[in-house]
Structure 1
Amino acid sequence: MLQLTSRKRETYNVHLTYSLLWESALGIAAITNKKLINTLERPEKYWGEIKKSISDGLLEQLEFVEQNNTWKSLLQILHQREFKDLSEFIIYINGLQETELRFICLPFIGKDYQNYREKAAQGEKSSVEKLVQATANNSFFPTYIEFISQCDIVLLKEHLIQVMSNWYKEVLERDVAETSIILKNDYEAKKKMSNKLTPEELVQWATGGVTYAPEPSVHHVLLIPQYIYRPWNIEADMEETKVFYYPVANESITPNDKYTPNNFLVLKHKALGDEARLRIVKLLSEENRTLQEITDQLDIGKSTIHHHLKILRAAKLVEIVGSKYCLKKGAMELLFKELEVYLEK
């Protein structure tokens, strides 16, 4: 196709921030997510010891979170402004009017639904139903939307303040100095790297391989480091903004050891340290291919090829688009930059 314009493809701006308040809210989300908790980096024993050591009051609040997914409310509120500390966060919640708090807590699901979101916050049942229908495929949004739209707002305020305050004081403060340093280290590392990478490369590097292409209505990406939810990335949508709560890198945890490589860098090099997988990468650099096409080309058993592709996918070097395997966009170019940064430490 002949391109008659010289205008560059638009992309988004990347912003970075960090806070112990984000870490608190995500810790509350983690311990109340029974389906995911066994997949987190910290062992089941760690979470069990927390539950044994905290007060009955906090346990009761966490049960309420688990029933109603109010961890989402905490994150939504934290996106309203940069809070200096917990006391400022509490003052802000107490100062919100009923409709304001409901609107903030209700999820953003697109510009076309903002009017319904506003009316749902005012108690209009038909708008609540519209939001519920629009989020039917989400695992918890429908019931969460119904809860936020009809709950006692005084009790909701008390709950959000108590669960956040108690978690911060009973759990986070045990390692507050260490956690603060880790988050700051990662924030500064990503800030430094932002001068060397494009916005899309920075998102891919920070998240360990998430490819996020620009969307028409998204002008900003917000990167927030978190330690408690490693190794998972958590994504969220705000108006005009895509949010990634991404896992801090290994070198942010051990900053005094300049020889500690980024865990994603290690995964990628391990994935490439095999002749068959390098052959697959070469094939995919030429064009996207199906599993059968790769098998036929290399004359290796399909189950063996599938195993190699799983390793390449785990290292975020290969992905599936449609029915074909392909190299992740910019993955190889970014790998060279990551190695350069590591060697320059």
Structure 2
Amino acid sequence: MDVLHMTSRKRETYEVRIEASLLWECALGIAAITNTRLIDTLERPKESWDKIKKSLTDPLIQDLEYVEMNNTWKSLLLLLHQREFGTLQEFITYIDDLEEEEIKYHCLPYIGLKFQELRKLASKGDVAARNRLKEQTEDNPYYPGYIEFICTTNVQMFKKHLKSVMIRWFEEVILPEQETLSGILTRDRQSKKEMGEKLNPEALVEWATGGITYLPEPSVHTVLLIPQSIYRPWNVEGDVEGVKVFYYPVANESIYPDDKNMPSYFLVQKYKALGDEARLRMVKFLKGSERTLQEITNELNMGKSTVHHHLKILRSARLVETQDGKYRLKENAIQTLSNELNQYLTGI
């Protein structure tokens, strides 16, 4: 059925904020080294992680074992979102000053506006509310156990742990690379801010994250982009009240600023993907319409295995995505290509 549009009001979207800090890198480093299932997929080679582990003091190793057992890296990230912290000492003082209910409330995961009252009650010791939160998050591999831990932990011991692991990781891992890391994060934040003047919010998020399409949600008014190097090549997603967070991997050119000819990894992949007649035909066929594999095969008169191979290349370049068994073109990724190329060629 056709729809008559009787209003001129544009679809609302979110605003984008970009923040960079060594404190985020610190907390994410703690998360990464204790994520044994994911660590082998990170860009940093195993030898580098082994070298870090060997350099750590015994007290920090014990702290990290506690993090791995109770997922307290999540607490660090959630607390860092409560305000802007200029220094590590400001963050430590903030933790010290929190009351018991406050720290539990802030450290419990945000799972939606309609569950905020449960979150408040659980932070006050309400067992029924705690169990409801656990039920609502049972599809998450660690949330139920984490919620139980936050609600029942000794707060003074918990604070002591959070301060200890944050201080020790910062001193032992971040400080030796402080100047380099700070430069990388600052450069990347600046490049994203400059591109933000040329792109709409959704296109900026897609470009910064290397291809994540994030459409506006009714309860989300802000997207927070936070550059990180430790989790490359992964994006890490998070949610706080009214805010969607993407801790996104910094670009190659932010890491190698002296190499003025260093292109973005995804810029190279996109142009490689488009440098083929069959794939260009697919892009044109997908523009404006979702298509099944069979429809694409019929249109291009190719074998399914060949079509699937080409689609895999387009997907890895973040130009095409799948949803409900259909392929769709990421229009923002195509539209921003000229801006990306121009920024690379001119540095502006």
Deviations 1:142-191 (A, max 9, x none): 11111101011111101100000000001111211000000000011111
Structure 2 residue aligned with 1:312: 314
User: 1:131 aligns to what?
Assistant: 133
Query: Residue 211 of structure 1 contacts residue 329 of structure 1 at CA under 8 Å; is this kept in 2?
Result: no
Instruction: Provide the residue aligned with 1:141 in structure 2.
Output: 143
Q: For the residues of structure 1 that align with 2:288 and 2:105, how far apart are their CA atoms?
A: 49
Q: Which amino acid aligns with 1:291?
A: L
1:338 to 337, 340, 343: 340
Change (3 A) 1:6 1:260: same
Percentage of pairs with the same residue: 58
- Tell me how many residue pairs correspond in the alignment: 345
Instruction: For 1:21-36, list aligned pairs within 5 A.
Output: 21-36=23-38
Give secondary structure in 1 for the equivalent of 2:198.
coil
Q: Tell me the equivalent position of 1:4.
A: 6
- DSSP 3-state at the match of 2:13: coil
The residue type paired with residue 117 of structure 2 is N
Gaps of 5+ in 2: none
Q: Please name the residue that 1:156 is paired with.
A: 158
Q: Aligned partner of 1:32: which letter?
A: T
Where does 1:279-294 land on structure 2 (aligned, <5 Å)? Answer: 279-285=281-287, 287-294=289-296
Question: 1:82-140 CA distances to partner (integer Å, 9 max, x unpaired)?
Answer: 11111111111011111110001001111100000001001111000111111111121
**Aligned match for 2:89, one of 82, 87, 106:** 87
Paired residue secondary structure (2:17): strand
**Correspondence list, 1:44-193, <5 A:** 44-193=46-195
Partner Cα separation in structure 2 for residue 204 and residue 164 of structure 1: 31
Q: CA deviation at 1:258?
A: 2.3
Query: Counterpart of 2:331 in 1: which secondary structure?
Result: coil
Distance in 2 (alpha carbons) for counterparts of 1:112 and 1:141: 18
What displacement does 1:287 show? 2.4
User: Which residue number in structure 2 is paired with residue 272 of structure 1?
Assistant: 274
What is the one-letter code of the residue matched to 2:146?
Y
Letter in 1 for 2:246: F
8 Å contact from structure 2 (residues 287, 331) kept in 1: no
The one-letter code of the counterpart of 2:150 is: I
SS in 2 for 1:330: helix
TM-score w.r.t. the length of structure 1 is 0.98
Structure 1 position 286, deviation (Å): 5.2
Number of the residue aligned with 2:201: 199
1:246 aligns with 2:248: yes
* CA distance in structure 1 between the partners assigned to 2:158 and 2:250 by the alignment: 31
Question: What secondary structure, in the 3-state scheme, does the structure 1 residue paired with 2:336 have?
Answer: helix
RMSD of aligned C-alpha atoms? Answer: 1.0
Q: Give the residue type in structure 2 aligned to 1:155.
A: M
Which blocks of at least 5 consecutive residues in structure 1 are unaligned? none
> Which whole-Å CA distance do the structure 1 matches of 2:216 and 2:329 have between them?
19
Counterparts in 2 of 1:286 and 1:112: CA distance versus 1, 3 Å: closer
Deviation at 1:80, TM superposition (A): 0.7
Does the residue aligned with 2:237 lie in a helix, a strand or coil? strand
TM-score, normalised relative to structure 2: 0.97
User: 2:328 is matched by which residue type in structure 1?
Assistant: C
Pairwise CA distance, 1:329: 3.3
